[in-house]
A and B are shown apart, each in its own frame.
Chain A
Amino acid sequence: GEDVEQSLFLSVREGDSSVINCTYTDSSSTYLYWYKQEPGAGLQLLTYIFSNMDMKQDQRLTVLLNKKDKHLSLRIADTQTGDSAIYFCAEIYSGYSTLTFGKGTMLLVSP
């Protein structure tokens, strides 16, 4: 079965870059996603990458995908206190329509 793993916690200072890592097991993943959840709120789709891409950049966000190692990362440049939240990595694999989520990484940004 599919499995998505993330480190549980990351602490950075405001202005630094944050890198949140994720590994997955299913090699037939088609899309990989990053969602953000602020306290008491729902999930907000930040960005996604298709499995035939290696990198995707969207303003302060950079997603890197290493298919060989089944490793996905999200880099947030110039991290702000408003970026403090839980970040979930998720995948969809071929023929299946629902998301499989990692357990989430709590990002804490200190001033």
Chain B
Amino acid sequence: DTAVSQTPKYLVTQMGNDKSIKCEQNLGHDTMYWYKQDSKKFLKIMFSYNNKELIINETVPNRFSPKSPDKAHLNLHINSLELGDSAVYFCASSQDGVSGYEQYFGPGTRLTVT
């Protein structure tokens, strides 16, 4: 029944490793997003996809590569992890990508880089 799900919920890894976070939504939405929440709880958009196409890419290092195999999934792959990547990553989806009306968020993935 979960509308937006993410796996894993927790991810602990060492610097330099490559990791992926998966996101799936069963709401039939066209637009999906990745947000990053830092240790001070500040939330910032990273990427936005509409119907599998990248529409927004904020100033995120190119070590971060989103992939959308279909419009229900938006995965986030991170290469060469750094300490500063430690954060909670939230996936979200919405029906109308233009107005962003009612974005639904996943439970978050807490990434810890040691």
Contact = CB atoms under 8 A, between A and B. Distances in A.
A42 B105 contact: yes
Contact of A31 (B44, B48, B50, B100): B100
A91 B32 CA distance: 17
Interface string A29-62: 0110001010001111100100000000000000
Nearest to A91: B100
A98 B33 contact: yes
Contacts of A101: 42-44
A42 B42 CA distance: 13
Interface residues of A, number: 22
Contacts of A48: 101-102
Interface of B: 4, 31, 33, 35, 40-45, 48, 50, 55-56, 90, 92, 94, 97-108
Given A31-B100, A98-B100, A99-B100, 16 more contacts: A30-B99, A31-B99, A41-B107, A41-B108, A45-B104, A86-B41, A97-B31, A97-B56, A97-B98, A97-B100, A98-B48, A99-B45, A100-B45, A103-B42, A104-B41, A104-B42
